[in-house]
């Protein structure tokens, strides 16, 4: 696991929206991801509207991400946030693999940054380290990645003009 995140992007000065789709499951951890991502987005993209959509569990995230990406009012980026804690069966791995594939397919097919921070962890201690701490906060990192990708996508559009 890498503990070195890319540099924080510069603040954006554009209009539009960013969507956060987050699981309600493992609420202590997912709520922390949403709070951190929202605070970071407010700081780095103050002109953007942030829309948060909560879903029951991690498996439900991709269908809402697809709906948002397909909408007429497509956001500039979508953050997918959740925490899956591995149990004694393969269920968590199957869910995580399905989510990863679905999120990637949506981003590629709609040419929209979909930031995947649906975490698959071994236990609550790992979830806590990635969601509640300042050093390794995946909510903050998801927001930073979204801002960086909005810049990248805008530069591609500008290069095509």
Catalytic residue numbers, as ranges: 91
| Separation between Cα atoms, residue 161 and residue 149, nearest integer Å | 19
Burial of 5 (0-12, 13-18, 19+ CB in 10 A): middle
List b or e across 32-57, with b for residues whose CB sees 16 or more CB atoms inside 10 angstroms: bbbebbbebbeebbeebebeeebbee
Taking every pair of Cα atoms in the chain, the longest distance, rounded to a whole number of angstroms, is: 53
């Amino acid at each position: 696991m890498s503990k070195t995140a890319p540099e924080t992007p510069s603040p954006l000065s554009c209009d539009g929206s960013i969507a956060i789709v987050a699981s309600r499951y493992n609420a202590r951890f997912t709520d922390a991801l949403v709070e951190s991502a929202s605070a970071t987005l407010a700081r780095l993209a103050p002109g953007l509207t942030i829309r948060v959509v909560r879903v029951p569990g991690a498996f439900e995230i991709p269908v809402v991400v697809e709906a948002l990406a397909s909408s007429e009012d497509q956001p500039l980026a979508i953050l997918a946030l959740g925490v899956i804690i591995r149990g004694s069966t393969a269920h968590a791995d199957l869910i995580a693999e399905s989510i990863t594939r679905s999120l990637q397919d949506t981003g590629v097919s709609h040419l929209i940054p979909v930031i995947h921070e649906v975490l698959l962890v071994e236990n609550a201690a790992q979830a806590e380290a990635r969601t509640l701490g300042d050093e390794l906060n995946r909510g903050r990192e998801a927001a930073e990645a979204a801002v960086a990708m909005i810049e990248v996508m805008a530069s591609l559009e500008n290069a095509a003009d």
